[in-house]
Amino acid sequence: MEIQITDFNITQTLECGQIFRFYKIEPDNFNIIVQDKVVNISQREDQLFIENTTLDEFNLFWKNYLDLDTNYKIIKDTLCEIDIHMNNAIRFGGGIRILKQDPFEMLISFIISQNKAIPHIKQCINNIAERFGQPIFQEISSETYYAFPTLAQLQAATIDDLSECKVGFRAAYIKDAIDKLSSGEVDLTSIASLETADARKQLMKIKGVGKKIADCVLLFAYYRTDVFPTDVWIKRVVEGFYFNQEETKLEAIDTFAKNTFKDLAGFAQQYLFFYARENNLFKKNAKDT
Each residue's pLDDT expressed in tens, for the chain with a length of 289 residues? 999 999 999 999 999 999 999 999 999 999 999 999 999 999 999 999 999 999 999 999 999 999 999 999 999 999 999 999 999 999 999 999 999 999 999 999 999 998 888 999 999 999 999 999 999 988 899 999 999 999 999 999 999 999 999 999 999 999 999 999 999 999 999 999 999 999 999 999 999 999 999 999 999 999 999 999 999 889 999 999 999 999 999 999 999 999 999 999 999 999 999 999 999 998 764 344 4
Instruction: Report pLDDT for 284.
Output: 67
If asked whether residues 211 and 172 sit together in one domain, one would say yes
CATH of the domain at 266: 1.10.1670
Read off the amino acid at residue 14.
L
Domain that holds residue 274: 232-278
Instruction: Report pLDDT for 283.
Output: 74
Q: Order of strands across the sheet with 47-51?
A: 2-4, 47-51, 37-44, 29-34, 22-26
If asked whether residues 156 and 110 sit together in one domain, one would say yes
Instruction: Report pLDDT for 239.
Output: 96
Give dist(CA 17, CA 42) in Å, integer: 19
Read off the amino acid at residue 43.
Q
Helix, strand, or coil (residue 41):
strand
If asked whether residues 7 and 34 sit together in one domain, one would say yes
If asked whether residues 169 and 125 sit together in one domain, one would say yes
Q: Does residue 259 lie in a domain region?
A: yes
If asked whether residues 112 and 215 sit together in one domain, one would say yes
If asked whether residues 244 and 202 sit together in one domain, one would say no
pTM of the model: 0.95
Q: Does residue 186 lie in a domain region?
A: yes
If asked whether residues 123 and 218 sit together in one domain, one would say yes
Q: Does residue 286 lie in a domain region?
A: no
If asked whether residues 125 and 25 sit together in one domain, one would say no
Q: Does residue 83 lie in a domain region?
A: no
Report the candidate in 221, 222, 196, 10 with the shortest Cα–Cα distance to residue 95: 10
Q: Does residue 179 lie in a domain region?
A: yes
CATH of the domain at 140: 1.10.340.30
Give dist(CA 273, CA 195) in Å, integer: 25
Check residue 29 and report its DSSP letter: E
Number of domains the chain is built from: 3
Instruction: Report pLDDT for 228.
Output: 98
If asked whether residues 7 and 58 sit together in one domain, one would say yes
